[in-house]
């Protein structure tokens, strides 16, 4: 189905109104009245059509927005997890260095004690 744009619809409605005026001039009152009635029905249908197209556009936008939001949440989660892993890794390395320093200090103290005895 082809999309009906506003410009085409307005052009068609002007043509319908002009036709109704011409029928009125030619003393075809019933035909003019019928054309006017159908034109108003058509306008009502077109308004509903535009409303439904707008709703559909909103739904499509939401449909495509969900994966983008999910991807953004996933990226944020991965970044947060990476930061936490880095902090944990750095904390472990600091603890290992402190343990090594403490062991060296203990060894140095043992060496100093043995030298003092000798």
* Model pTM score: 0.51
Domain containing residue 70: 6-89
**Residue at 64 is within a domain:** yes
Q: Please check the confidence at residue 92 and state whether its pLDDT lies above 70.
A: yes
CA gap 85, 29 in Å, rounded: 83
| pLDDT tens digits along 25-37 | 888 889 889 999 9
The confidence band for 69, taking pLDDT boundaries of 50, 70 and 90, is confident
**Residue at 96 is within a domain:** no
**Residue at 102 is within a domain:** no
4: left (phi over 0), alpha (psi -120 to 50) or beta: beta
């Amino acid at each position: 189905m082809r999309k009906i744009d506003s410009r085409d619809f307005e052009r068609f409605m002007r043509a319908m109104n002009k036709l109704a005026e011409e029928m009125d001039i030619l003393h075809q009152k019933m035909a003019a009245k019928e054309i006017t009635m159908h034109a108003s029905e058509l306008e009502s249908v077109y308004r509903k059509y535009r409303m439904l197209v707008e709703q559909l556009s909103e739904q499509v936008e939401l449909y495509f927005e969900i994966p983008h939001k999910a991807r953004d949440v996933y990226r944020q989660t991965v970044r947060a997890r990476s930061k936490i892993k880095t902090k944990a890794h750095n904390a472990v390395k600091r603890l290992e260095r402190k343990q090594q320093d403490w062991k060296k200090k203990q060894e140095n103290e043992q060496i100093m004690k043995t030298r003092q005895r000798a």
